[in-house]
Amino acid sequence: MLEIQRGVIELNNEVIKLQDVTAGYKTVTGFKSILKRYQVVLKDINLTVSKGERVAIIGESGSGKSTLLKVIMGLLKPIKGEVYVYGKQIYKLPWRERVKIIRKIGYVPQDPYSALNPLLTVKHAISEPLEALGLKDEIIEQRVREAVKFVGLPQEVLNSTPDELSGGMRQRVLIVRALVAEPEILILDEPTSALDVSIQAQIINLLNDIYSKLKTTMITVTHDLAVAQYLADRAFILRNGSISEEGPIDQILSNPRSEYTRKLVLSYYVTSFKNNKSVGTE
Amino acid sequence: MTLPSLYSRIMRRNLRRTRFKIGVALTTIIVILSIIAPLIAPYPSEGYGYVPANASERKLLPPSTQFPFGTDALGRDLFSRVLTGTRTAVIQAVSVILISLLVGMIIGVCAAYFKGLIEVTLNYFTELFMAVPSIVIALFLRLTIGQGLHVVIISLVIAWWAWYSRIAYVYAKSIVELEYVTLAKLSGLSALKIIPRHVIRNIFQALTVQAISDLGSALLEASAINFMGLGLPPGSPEWGVILYEAITERGIEAFLFSPWLVVFPGLFIFMTTLGFSLIADPLREDLDPRLRRRWKLWF
Amino acid sequence: MVLAIQAKNLKIGYMDEEEQITWATRGVDLSVEEGESFCIVGESGCGKSTLASAIAGVLPPHALTMGKLYIFNQLVINESERNYNGIRGKVVSLIPQNPGTSLNPFLTIGDHFYYILRDVKGLSKSDSIKIAQEYLSKVGLGKDVLEKYPHKLSGGMQQRVLIAIALASEVKIIVADEPTSSIDANLRAQILNLLSKLVKEFKVTLLLVTHDLASASKICDRIAVMYAGKVIETGLTSSIISKPRHPYTRMLLDSVPLLGSKKSLNPLPGEPPSLVEDFTWCSFRDRCPFRIEQCSVEPPLIPVEDEPHLVRCWRFREVS
Ligand SMILES: Nc1ncnc2c1ncn2[C@@H]1O[C@H](COP(=O)(O)OP(=O)(O)OP(=O)(O)O)[C@@H](O)[C@H]1O
Ligand SMILES: Nc1ncnc2c1ncn2[C@@H]1O[C@H](COP(=O)(O)OP(=O)(O)O)[C@@H](O)[C@H]1O
Ligand code: SF4
Ligand SMILES: [Mg+2]
Ligand SMILES: [Mg+2]
């Protein structure tokens, strides 16, 4: 009885669900692209994310992490398989309808240096999602100011252009932009890998703060195990485009099941400080 | 302070500034002349090609105080004709470049933004037009719709827009892959807003500099079409036409016995193109990332 | 012991269009012995890359210099004069920071090796390809990359190619500017091991530039911490890591996330100051919790008793 009830609740709470998704990029362009030849990057991915969860997708460079995010956000139609966002098969919908669902996702892209139009002010960049919702100017202005205050940026940044900002400031501006339309899911692609350690720590603290206040579902993509540990409760290990391990992050880090994850954890220690609380990787 | 390096840097920049200033000065003079030419020309009606009543007395006179540039075979004052030609020159060059830029930019940017079949088709189309020489189009138009300014402009635009389309496509192609375009798409903004705001704005500077440096070539090609008698009718105030008349009426002798007929219009063509390119070159240096000094080496 | 690198009050600046000078390094004193692995740690914009390129001889021509720099006792920077003849590429080689912009997009990877080895060692094409293969395999790349153009490689692969190129010229000093910043943990470990092996086996001097204190501590003998163009603390790795004396170094250590223990991260708010203005006070003043009146006067380099350890802070005793 209890089992069934739990099952029902979980079903309702599933915000993202990928079923046997295989995806990749076309290898031929131009007229020949009709041929549909693909370089497969993701193979048979199954993944569900429930409401209010914090999930990490961990993998080496080139393992297909960013590609997976593209599939989730409706930007790359999978070759095979189904993608459900809020229970809707987004790739069965035309772009206009799809965007209405995608809007519930706030996305912070991988490279803070190419994610802001160099010619627009920060204010313009942040208000764009609200503008797309068709809100009035005064309301936009007010919400932008509130959001900027929320992440602890000074109001002056609103009038600056991106090249006056450091990497950490840019990243914060991008987080504000993602949050301003009050998304239900926050997707972060390598939120700290372009930043220095102390700025990285500031951003990690900020994201944890945001989560404790807003309880948005958070999906973090990273290759840094320690960062994942701070920003997620559950993790998927991606290897060459398939999920090789899945589970609570503490268990994955302390007691990895697959050989690959174990290697990943071990190699992490080679370049990091020794930790007194030794982890059972042996 | 390191004096030698500082000195060479300031010199280099000043040199660039001087070139730019000369270019601006030349171009300003030409533009002002093009506006006030009919007012300061000593024989305004002759400037527009009317043959004066006393033509037979003043055919092919060499430069003098009365006729600073001499007179042509029909007895018209060459100074007035060349001066009046300034306006045609500016109109031709500017309108050809503006129209080509507009058409090319829209097509190139759309090809880059919409991808898929649209991209393939538009690119194919662009490539088709890149192979067409303007002279051939002008010849075709001359035979079908006759002579006139529109023939010059249309034939040059047909030959030129494809280049801008190609340049716009190449620049836009790298812009549309950037994350800010993705973010705008994800927030649900329509292409109609994204394209001008994120794509065109970011390629516009590069395209404008390209356009400015092409003004000179546009003028040269327009003059060439006119020189071959395909564009403006004889008597029109246009430097190419003046040269055409000199050659058709006097043949090779024009160079030998009445050189002023070729030298003065030629000089004006040269000075105008020089002015345009002196403006464009420093701008281009500023734009080219390899020549730009202030790039950041952050992290 | 031979000094491989010695800098005396080295200042390097860049002038911008408005004739403002950004002083990226502001009086650096440094001495690195032959066969040592020395590390410069600091955050983005503190002048690490500038110092690294000064040592490798690749400062852009518009950079302004003051002070002196010796490489193996040869004076390469003497106030405004720079002369790297016989040094650049032959004694020092740089692993540059931006893999994307450091490779020529029109040359294959094999050509890159050929041109560099031809210049440095006068090798023929086939010889240089052979050497290239050897070093590429050391950084975990196959020989198939030799025919490829740079844009076909991922960021991590480009960086490894650059490392292999620097190693192949077999110089005495390797300056590595953030060699592992776009590489994940697995490969990072491999490359750091390779670098430290070079130091041990071939007596190469390694100057590692990074913002990652953790990996620095793994392979370096000594560390210099830079902040806003100045070295603010320098000493043996073990003493810097276990007993940081400068509040900034301390903060850096506190900010590194540790695997397996979710200790709280305590970064100090704020960011480094702009390098245009000239400070006559401690550049860390605005972020420093230990600040006192005296800090508005330039803090001196204070030696720590009984240790080869220098700190630029008035209150270093209270910090540790
Ligand atoms: N637009 C694209 N066109 C073609 N291939 C692509 C494209 N983007 C990525 N790829 C390929 O897909 C694979 C996975 O790339 P992806 O960007 O998902 O990696 P990632 O896991 O995010 O790595 P990183 O940590 O370096 O960002 C790579 O082999 C890459 O070359
Ligand atoms: N080639 C350059 N031209 C002008 N300014 C530069 C150049 N390289 C670096 N700078 C400036 O010098 C300062 C220090 O930069 P850099 O040495 O790259 O720091 P780091 O490597 O520590 O991040 C920065 O303010 C940067 O903008
Ligand atoms: S000198 Fe003063 S301000 Fe500077 S780090 Fe030390 S205590 Fe802080
Ligand atoms: Mg990625
Ligand atoms: Mg750097």
pLDDT greater than 80 at residue B253: no
pLDDT confidence of residue C65: 92
> Mean pLDDT across the stretch B138-159?
91
**φ and ψ at C227, to 5 degrees?**
-145, 125
pLDDT band of residue A123 (cuts 50, 70, 90) is very high
Task: Tell me which residue in B1, B9, B297 faces C49 most closely, judged by beta carbons.
Answer: B297
pLDDT of B9 reads: 61
Complex-level ipTM: 0.85
- Weakest mean pLDDT among A240-244, B131-135, B262-266, C247-251: B131-135
Q: Which domains does chain C show, CATH number per domain?
A: 3-86+210-257+264-319 (3.40.50.300)
In this predicted structure, what is the pLDDT of residue A11?
52
8 Å CB contact between B169 and B108 = yes
A154, burial (CB in 10 Å: exposed 0-12, middle 13-18, buried 19+): exposed
Tell me the nearest-neighbour CA distance from B211 into chain A, angstroms: 21
CB contact set of A3 (below 8 Å; sequence gap of 6+): none
Q: Could B297 and C178 be called an inter-chain contact, meaning their C-beta atoms sit closer than 8 Å?
A: no
Mean pLDDT of B72-94: 91
User: Of residues B101 and B18, which shows the higher confidence score?
Assistant: B101
What are the tens digits of pLDDT across the range C206-245?
Answer: 999 988 888 888 889 999 999 999 999 999 998 898 889 8
CB contact under 8 A, C261 and A271: no
What letters, b where the CB count within 10 A reaches 16 and e where it falls short, cover C134-173? ebbebbebeeebbeeebeebeebbbbbbbbbbbbbbbbbb
| pLDDT tens digits, A216-245 | 999 999 988 889 999 999 999 999 999 999
Predicted pLDDT of residue A108: 94
Average pLDDT estimate for B250-272: 86
- For all residues of chain C together, what is the average pLDDT? 87
Q: Which long-range contacts (CB under 8 A, 24 or more apart) does C263-268 make?
A: C265/A201, C265/A204, C265/A205, C265/A230, C266/A201, C267/A198, C267/A199, C267/A201, C267/A202, C267/A205, C268/A198
Local confidence band at B200 (pLDDT 50, 70, 90 cut-offs): very high
Structure token pair of residue A109: 């892209």
Share of chain A above pLDDT 70, in %: 89
Average pLDDT estimate for A36-42: 84
What is the CA(B63)–ligand 1 centre distance, in A? 72
pLDDT at B182: 92
Q: Which residues of B touch C62 (CB under 8 A)?
A: 5, 9, 293
> Positive or negative, the Cα torsion across B258, B259, B262, B264?
negative
Predicted confidence band of residue A280 (pLDDT cuts 50, 70, 90): very low
Query: What would the pLDDT profile of C292-318 be if each residue is shown by its tens digit?
Result: 988 888 788 778 776 788 999 988 888
> What's residue B286's pLDDT?
67
Q: Does B183 touch chain A (CB under 8 A)?
A: yes
* pLDDT (0 to 100) of residue C194: 81
Interface residue of B120, B179, B287 to substitute, partner A, most A CBs within 10 Å: B179
pLDDT, residue A4, reads: 45
Which segments of chain B does DSSP mark as H helices, in order? 3-40, 44-47, 78-114, 116-130, 134-145, 149-176, 179-186, 191-194, 201-227, 239-250, 253-257, 260-287
Look at A194-208, B149-163, C26-40 and tell me which has the smallest mean pLDDT. Answer: A194-208
Q: What tens digit of pLDDT does each residue of A152-200 get?
A: 888 888 998 888 888 888 888 999 999 999 999 999 998 988 788 888 8
Domain boundaries, chain B: 3-298
Domains of chain A from N-terminus onward: 3-104+184-281 (3.40.50.300)
What pLDDT score was predicted for residue B291?
39
Could you please state the CATH topology (level 3) that the domain comprising B3-298 is classified under.
Answer: MetI-like fold (1.10.3720)
Give the lowest-confidence range in A266-280, C43-57, C108-122, C247-261: A266-280
Which residue, judged by its Cα, is nearest atom 5 of ligand 2? C14
Listed ranges B37-46, B281-290, C266-275; the one with the highest mean pLDDT: B37-46
CA C23 to chain centre: 17
Chains that touch A (3 or more CB pairs under 8 A): B, C
From first CA to last CA, the distance across chain C in angstroms is 31
pLDDT band, very low/low/confident/very high, at B105 (cuts 50, 70, 90): very high
Give all chains having 3 or more CB-to-CB distances under 8 Å with chain B: A, C
3-class secondary structure per residue, B214-230: HHHHHHHHHHHHHHCCC
Confidence of residue A278 (pLDDT cuts 50, 70, 90): very low
* Residues of A whose CB is below 8 A from C241: 273
Q: How far is A272 from chain B (nearest CA, A)?
A: 20
Ligand 1: atom nearest CA of A24 is 12
Structure tokens at A259: 């050989």
Q: Does residue C273 or residue B291 have the better pLDDT?
A: C273
The C-alpha atoms of residue B220 and residue C161 are separated, in whole angstroms, by 48
- Neighbouring-strand partners of residue A18: A47, A83
Q: Whose CA is nearest to atom 9 of ligand 2?
A: B297
Atom 28 of ligand 1, nearest CA residue: A62
Is B188–A102 a contact, with Cβ atoms under 8 angstroms apart?
A: yes
pLDDT at B4: 54
CA A212 to chain centre: 17
